[in-house]
A and B are shown apart, each in its own frame.
Chain A
Amino acid sequence: MTGSRPLALVLVEMILLVLLGPLVTGAIQKMKARLQCRQGAGVLQPYRDLAKLFRKGTVQADTASGLFPLIPVLVLAATVAAGALVPVVRMGPPAFPLGDALMLLGLLALARFLTAVGALDAGGAFGGMGASREMTVAPLVEPVLMMVVFSTAVVAGTTELGALASSRGASWLLAWGAADFLGFAAMLVVLPAETGRIPVDNPDTHLELTMLHEGMLLEHSGPGLGCMLLASHTRQIVTLGLVSALFFPAGPWGGAGAAGLLFGAGSFAAKVLVLAIYLALVESSYAKLRLFRVPQYLGVGFVCAFMALALRIL
């Protein structure tokens, strides 16, 4: 089996994802603002925030251990490494095997685990609260994501994302069956949870009643906070990339040559944009759920994912 994506392309795609991550967040913020009849900040605002944070100094809690400054580095590294596993401009397996969808979810889980550990380091109640809630939601989200992956992998015979995407062929939309619709529905349910958005989490607030992910970032500052924010932008675009690889692969139109690559990049941007619009719409039209309602909400996703998988097996 020789791959169709050389290692250099994989690395370029990874860097592309990291660079474009903040843009997706900015676009969602802008759309949300317009939906709420506000002007809102420009789509480039996340870049400005990052640039400012990386120029600042660091204030660290006096109770924090030697692990604390390492946390943002490791979290960012795990998230970015996960980005290397998503096919962006061209489908097909990489020339040298790197990792599959399970590895991607594992790396994202590692980033989340380290974030939660870092939140407990400063010894404040807010960090612990955020970590506790995040680690409550995560075990309920991960099985759903895995089952959605399995429901497509059972047909393709592989969990490698590039190979999985290319195995769906050109006519993916016409070939969608009930299992695909159910799996996609499950994905739409858990997508706000995985990207830390309403109705599960609220990215805009530091109010302790509503926050999950933001609570864990409270004690980070300066470049460290910048790394954490960059990691969450990357996480978001990686998750969207996972969805598009599983459900809307570009197909063989993204052939070899510069035109094919351009087409692949364009279609990827379009897919991410569609999913971003979905996120913005959900965020603007729903209220945040109470924490103890979240398991029921995610339960809908679990049932959809399990049904999708069961339909494939039976």
Chain B
Amino acid sequence: MSVPVIAGHAQSVQSSQPTRRNTELALLVAVWLVGALALVLASEGAAGEVVADVQTIVLIEGACLLGIHLVVRRLAPYADPIMLPAAAALNVLGIAMIGRLDLADAKRAAARGADIPESVAVQQSIWLAVGVVACAIVLIVVRDHRNLRRYTYLVGLAGLVLLLLPMVPGLGLTIRGANLWIAIGPFTFQPAEISKVLLTIFFASYLVLTRESLSLIRHKFLGLGVPRGRDLGPILVAWAIAMGIVVFQRDLGTAAMFFGLFVGLLYVATGRRSWIVLGLLLTLVGAVGSYLAFSHVQIRVKVWLDPFAYSDTEGYQIVQALYGFASGGMMGTGWGAGYPQLVPFAESDFIFAALGEEIGLVGGFAVIVLMAILIQRALRTAHASRDPFGTLLVSGYAIVLGLQSFIVLGGVTKLIPHTGLTTPFMSAGGSSLLANWIILGLLLRVSDHVRRPDPVIHRPEDSTTEVVHVS
């Protein structure tokens, strides 16, 4: 980390860095127009008319994107200009598909003579507004991301408590077999989503302190350095917590994401491949162990291996998703022309299947590429960061976004067994959207810090007069 410090200084002194805020604005306008077009097409395709909600949603989206852009322009002018439009694009695409699914629900309800259900898409656009406000608050409150290190253990504790909250009797809520939610009055909330924001801060901060010791190697085995026995503590604790999530919350996806986050950061911090090997070994042990011990894990694996054998029961959802992808093919059926409503929970866990059906392989690739762009821009920021905490924090969020996308999209496409996780920025659901916008706020904050030219620094050796250090 010592080298970039000098390089950073040398670079920043010479000229004023372009802020590229206008690039961001242009991209955001394009995103907004694409989102509006998608909604109009979806409404036209599914209902044969542009329903009233479309206007409401498009206006909310426009206000959100413009608002957050202005906040960034003022509070993080040097922030990366690509990350915000990429995240926004995922968000508006998700809302368009949710709106399209609303219309299918409305049609079904009308056919049955039932009340038309409330529009999830409007709710989701309100959650977008909440997310954008949260993102703005992050930019206002966190003027320097390094300040977050002051609360390392408090943040870690809060993250852990949130993660374990659904296990509290009377508070936890089991939905579809996973004990991931908490209910407070009429509101349900998925605390793990916020927990991933906090635990990333904790891990990054903790590893800045301990990475020297964790990268010490005593023995070599098969060309790999073996960590010292007393340094194994943290990874074993992380593993134990992940297993606890599998056992008590019955959620493989969240467990895999948290453990993967920890191991990934450990690797980035120490540069030791042995941590990756150890992490994979522990994952293997955990996976085999939970397969042997828990029927819910066995079912997931069986359904993954041959979903068509369970097409009327546990495999129904994934089989319907596969049929949807296949009917979409290369170009998709077109907005409103497919049957994504046949996939249960198409608006949340399976939103990618719904998009794959109606906008095809082309649309699916676009979503994956947007996600990859967001991740690569975050890693670029990590690369350029002059402080190790910034590097680790931003890499951590890149890992979270990457792993979460992979686990959920891989599950939906039958690449890996399906475990319930939300698609970042796309799935219907407030906690997930809120958490991801907070993450985006932190990414913007660090990238602003990285690209911001330093104020003119008076270095002792440059001084013409002697400087007296008072304190």
Q: Does B associate with A?
A: no
